[in-house]
Amino acid sequence: MDVDTMRLLATSIAVGAGVLAPGLAIGMIGAAALGGIARNPEATSKIQTNMVLAIAFAESVAIYALVVALIIKFT
């Protein structure tokens, strides 16, 4: 394989692996938040605040994976 093919393969693996984990994490965070709200509706505002913060942290991992993939692709 030539260098460009390997670079493209590495880029796709970095993006694929880097998006899979945050996607699963966001789904688990949402499910846990909905379960918590269903059990204790009075705590909705606290749960939603923490859920949005946790989703933002999980999403930042996907953005880091995208940055690494772009570095791999263009260097």
The overall pTM is greater than 0.85: no
Place of tokens 């709200």: 37
pLDDT digits (tens, 9 = 90+) for 24-54: 999 999 999 999 999 999 999 999 999 999 9
Which residues, in sequence order, are CB contacts of 19 under 8 Å at separation 6+? 62, 65
Which domains occur in the chain, in start order?
26-75 (1.20.20.10)
Q: Is the pLDDT of residue 1 over 90?
A: no
- Mean pLDDT, residues 50-61: 94
- DSSP annotation of 62 reads H
pLDDT tens per residue, range 7-26 = 999 999 999 989 999 999 99
Sign of torsion, CA 18 24 27 31? negative
DSSP string, 3-60: HHHHHHHHHHHHHHHHHHHHHHHHHHHHHHHHHHHHH-GGGHHHHHHHHHHHHHHHHH
